[in-house]
Amino acid sequence: MSNAMTLPQHPAKEQAAPKQRGYWGSVLYRLRYDPVTVFFGCVVLAIILAAIFAPVLAPFDPYKESIIGRLKPMGWKGHLLGTDELGRDLLSRLLYGGQVSLLMGVVPVAIATVIGGTLGVIGGFGGRRVNTAIMRTMDVFYAFPSVLLAVAISGAMGGGAANGMIALSMVFTPAMCRVAETATAQVKNLDFVEAARATGAGTLTILRYHILGNVLGPVFIYASSLVSVGILLASGLSFLGLGVKPPTADWGLMLSTLRQSIYINPAICALPGVAILIASVSFNLLSDGIRSAMDVRL
Amino acid sequence: MENLSDRGGPAQPLLIAKDLRKHFKVKGGAPGATVRAVDGVSFTIHKGETLGIVGESGCGKSTLARLLLHLIEPDSGELVFDGDPVGEMRGISVNALRRQVQMVFQDSASSLNPRMPVRDSIAFGPHVHGKTKAESSRIARDVLVKVGLKPDLFGPRYPHELSGGQKQRVNIARALAIEPRMVILDEAVSALDKSVEAQVLNLLRALKENFNLTYLFISHDLSVVRYISDRVLVMYLGAVVELGPVNEIFSRPKHPYTVALLASRPSMDPANRIEEPPLTGDPPSPIDPPSGCRFRTRCQFAETVCAEVQPVLGQWNDRDSHIAACHMRDPASGHSRATEVN
C-alpha cells in the first residue's frame, strides 16, 4: 500500500462516453435482434389490429344467416373461409370474435395485475402479520385448479362476458400476487434498500424509488405470459356456455357450436380452434422474447 | 440542510455507545433461545478519528454497525451523538442521526439499485432530505468527482456496467452526498482486489481529511485495520474484549484472543511460516455462550476463575486508554498469571 494521499487517477481518462440507453431502451435494442420475437410480435399486432378494425375488414355481416349457405367450404361465393352452421360468414365472425377473446384475455390480466400486484407488494414489504394475512388468503384460491375455479365462479354468478372477466380476474389475482410478493421480498432484503433507509428515506419513498422499479419487470413479464392463458380460459368458459351468450361471435363459443358439424366440414369447424391456437402461441412466444430481453444480468 | 457543525467542541466524543444489546430470537429453537449477537457493547468514537472494529465472522460486527444507525432496533442500550441522546425526547431523532451518519456496505453490487443509473442512486439521499432534483444531481456530480469518477462518463451508467472498485466508489459517493459527519464502513473494502482495495483505502483517507469525517471501520482484515485506524476495538462473540490505540494493540496486545488473532496473520517472511494455527475450531455458539469469560473455551491460559467470573473491560479515561477484558490483566482476579503478565 502506498502512502500517497492523492486521489488515485482513474485509468479511463480520455475515453469518450459511450452511447447510453436507458433500461427500456436496451430492452428494445435486444428485442430488435430477436427474429422469433419480432415475428410473433407482428402476429400479435396483426391480431389486435384485426380485432379493432373488424367492422372495416369484415367482408360480410357476421350475424347475417342464410339457410341455403350453411357449412359451405372455403371460397364459396366470396366467403373466404366458408360459412358456419347458420350460414354466417366465418371470416367475419372470426374477426369479430377476436374482439371478445382478446378483451377476455387482456382485461382480467390487467385487473389481476393491479390488484394482485398491489397486494403482493404490500405483503412482501409489510411485516410478517400483513404478509401472512394476504398470502394465506391467496392460498385459499390456489387450492382449486384454475379452470375449475373459473368455471365455479362464473357458474355461480351466471354467464356473460362481464362475469366471465370477473371470474378470470379472481383466478389470476393470487398468481399475480405471489409473483409480486416474491419479487418484493427479494429486493427488500438487498443492501440498497437498507442503504436508502440509512439515508433517512421513509417507507413510501423507498417503495416508489427502489422497490417498484425492480418489481414491475417480473410482474410485467408474468402478466404478458398470462394473456395467452386468459384467452384459452375465456374460450373454455364460452365453450362451456359460461362466457358470452350466442349469437355473439367468440372463438370459444364458435368452437362449441361448430363442434356438432365436425363430420360435415371438419376444416371449417377447426378454424376457431386455429385462431385460439395462433393467438395464444403468439402471445406466449412474444412474452418469452420480452422476458429474455428484460432478463439482463444485473 | 442546516448547518451541522461541531457543537460540543473537539473534546466531546462524536458518538458514545452505552451497553448496546441485541438478542435475536432463534427460529425453531428452544423457546426463549436467543442469539446474543451484540451483548453489552460500549465504546466512544472521537471526532475525526477512525475506530477500527475487528473480529471473526459472526462476532457481531455488522449487527453492531446496524444498531448504530437503528437499522435494527437495539433491545437495550443508549446512543449519544455529539451530546444528544438518540431517539429520546430531549435528544435527536433517528432520522436526524441518519443525516449525520452514513454507511457503506460490503457488497458493492447489491448496495446499488440495479435499475437506477448510479447518478440517480447518489442523488437520492439529498433529494430525500429536501433538495430539488436539480440541486441533487449537481451534488451527485460533485461527489462523483470527489471519489475520482468522471460524472459524464460514469453518472449515466447502471451498476452492472461498473467494476467492483468503481461500484464501491459510487457507494462512498452516495454516503458522502448528504454530507455526513461520520461514515460507517462495514467491510467496505473486503470484497475488492488487493490493488483496488489499496486505491479505495487511500481514497477514504483523502476524503476523511477533506471533509473532516469520522470513520467506524469494520473489517476482519487486520492489516487493513492497522493501515487505516487510529484506535482498534476487538470483538469476540458479541462483546468487546480489547480496545486501544492501533499501535498499542498491534505491538502490545493484552487479550489472549487479540494475541491469537495477530498471530494468525500470514507471515510476510517465508522463513517464518505459521506452523500451527493459533486458534482452532469455530467460536462457541452465541446462543449459549460459555459462562464467565467467553473466550475461555479456546484460551490456553483458562483457569477456574475464567469460568466463574465474567471479566470486565475496565474504564477508559481518554482516547489513549488501552483496556482488555481479561482476568490476567486484573491482579485482584485471582488468576495465577495475573501478576506475572503485568
**Chain-chain contact of B71 with A8 (C-beta, under 8 angstroms):** no
Mean per-residue pLDDT for B150-155?
90
Q: Could you give all domains of chain A from N- to C-terminal order, each with its CATH number?
A: 33-62+83-294 (1.10.3720.10)
What is the C-alpha to C-alpha distance for residues A223 and A229, in angstroms, rounded to an integer?
A: 10
pLDDT at A13 over 50: no
User: Cβ separation of B102 and A199 shorter than 8 Å?
Assistant: yes
| Contacts with B, A 199-218, CB within 8 Å | 199-201, 205, 209-210, 213-214, 217
Contact status, residue A256 vs residue A239, Cβ threshold 8 Å: yes
Cβ–Cβ below 8 Å for B148 and A192: no
Task: Calculate the dihedral angle through the C-alpha atoms of B276, B278, B280, B285, rounding to the nearest 10 degrees.
Answer: -170
State whether residue B265 sits within 8 Å of chain A by CB.
no
pLDDT tens by residue, A125-160: 888 898 889 899 888 888 888 888 888 888 888 877
pLDDT at B136 over 70: yes
Nearest to A223 by CA among A171, A179, A186, A282: A179
pLDDT given for residue B277 in this prediction: 65
State the best of B25, B101, B113, B192 to mutate against chain A, taking most chain A CBs within 10 Å. Answer: B113
Q: Can you give the pLDDT at residue A120?
A: 92
Residue B96, pLDDT score: 86
The CATH architecture one would assign to domain B15-341 is: 3-Layer(aba) Sandwich (3.40)
| Contact: B110, A192; criterion CB under 8 Å | yes
A209 interaction partners in chain B (CB closer than 8 Å): 113, 116, 124
Counting one residue from A and one from B, how many pairs have CB atoms under 8 Å apart? 101
Element (H, E) at B274: none
Distance between CA atoms of B54 and B221, rounded to whole angstroms? 7
| Identity of the residue in B95, B148, B153 whose CB atom sits nearest the CB atom of A17 | B153
User: Helix, strand, coil: what percent of chain B each, to 5?
Assistant: 35, 20, 45
pLDDT at A121 exceeding the cut of 50:
yes
Q: Which three cell numbers stand for residue B162?
A: 461498473
Chain A partners within 8 Å of B125 (Cβ): 199-200
pLDDT digits 0-9 by tens, A51-97: 888 788 777 777 777 777 777 777 777 767 777 777 788 888 888 88
Phi, psi values for residue B22, rounded to 5°: -145, 115
Is the CB of residue A269 less than 8 Å from the CB of residue A259?
yes
- For A61, A88, A237, A254, B18, the CA distances from A91, given in Å and listed in that order, are 10, 9, 22, 12, 81
Q: Across the interface, which of B66, B112, B156 has its CB nearest the CB of A192?
A: B112
Q: How far apart, in whole angstroms, are the C-alpha atoms of residue B13 and residue B11?
A: 6
Q: Please indicate whether, in this complex, the C-beta atoms of B158 and A298 are within 8 angstroms of each other.
A: yes
**Residue among A224, A283, A290, A220 at smallest CA distance from A42:** A283
Residue B268: count of CB within 10 angstroms of its CB:
7
Average pLDDT over residues A5-23: 53
Say which of A6, A20, A195 has its CB closest to residue B111.
Answer: A195
Q: Tell me the β-bridge partners of A76.
A: A79
Q: Is A187 exposed, middle or buried (0-12, 13-18, 19+ CB in 10 A)?
A: buried
Q: In this structure, what C-alpha cell is assigned to residue B177?
A: 452526498
Contact A2 B128 (CB under 8 A): no
**Residue B275: what pLDDT?**
66
In which residue are the cell numbers 378470470 written?
Answer: A168
The interface pTM score, or ipTM, of the predicted complex is 0.78
Spell out the domain ranges in chain B.
15-341
Range of weakest confidence among A62-76, A98-112, A254-268: A62-76
pLDDT confidence of residue B140? 93
Q: How far apart (Å, rounded) are the C-alpha atoms in residues A235 and A222?
A: 20
How far, in Å, CA of A219 to CA of B104, rounded?
A: 30
Q: Is 50 exceeded by the pLDDT of residue A281? A: yes
CA dihedral B2→B7→B10→B12, nearest 10 degrees, is -130
Report the residue from B112, B124, B203 with minimal CB separation from A199. Answer: B124
The predicted pLDDT at position B317 comes to 67
Q: What is the mean pLDDT of residues A270-297?
A: 84
- Using 50, 70 and 90 to split pLDDT, how confident is the model at A297? low
For chain A, counts of helices (H) and of strands (E) = 12, 0
Task: Report chain B residues whose CB lies below 8 A from the CB of A197.
Answer: 71, 98
SS3 B255: coil
pLDDT tens for each residue of B16-75: 888 888 888 887 767 778 888 888 888 889 988 999 999 888 888 888 998 998 888 888
Portion of chain A with pLDDT greater than 70, in percent: 89
State how far Cα A252 lies from the chain centre: 18
- Confirm or reject contact between B163 and chain A (CB < 8 A): no
Q: What is the pLDDT of residue A14?
A: 45
Q: Which amino acid is at B16?
A: I
Q: What is chain B's mean pLDDT, rounded?
A: 85
CA distance A177 to A151: 21
Alpha helices in A61-202 (DSSP H): 90-125, 128-142, 146-157, 161-188, 191-199
Q: Can you give the pTM of this predicted structure? A: 0.79
The torsion angles phi and psi of A76, rounded to 5 degrees, stand at -70, 120
Whose cell is 482498534? That residue is B232
Residue to mutate among A5, A10, A186, A197, with most B CBs inside 10 A, is A10
The predicted-structure confidence for B272-320, as pLDDT tens digits, reads as follows 766 666 677 777 888 888 888 888 888 888 888 888 888 888 776 666 7
| Residue A10 CB contacts under 8 Å (≥ 6 apart), including other chains | B148, B149, B150
Grid coordinates representing B15?
Answer: 458518538
Classified as helix, coil or strand, B248 is helix
Residue found under cell 464502513: B185
Distances B181 to A7, B97, B147, B208, B301 between C-alpha atoms, Å: 20, 10, 17, 10, 42
Query: Quick one: residue A87, left, alpha or beta (phi over 0 = left, psi -120 to 50 = alpha)?
Result: left
Q: Nearest CA of chain B to the CA of A226: how many Å?
A: 24
In tens, the pLDDT along B84-128 reads 888 777 778 888 888 899 999 888 888 898 888 899 999 999 998
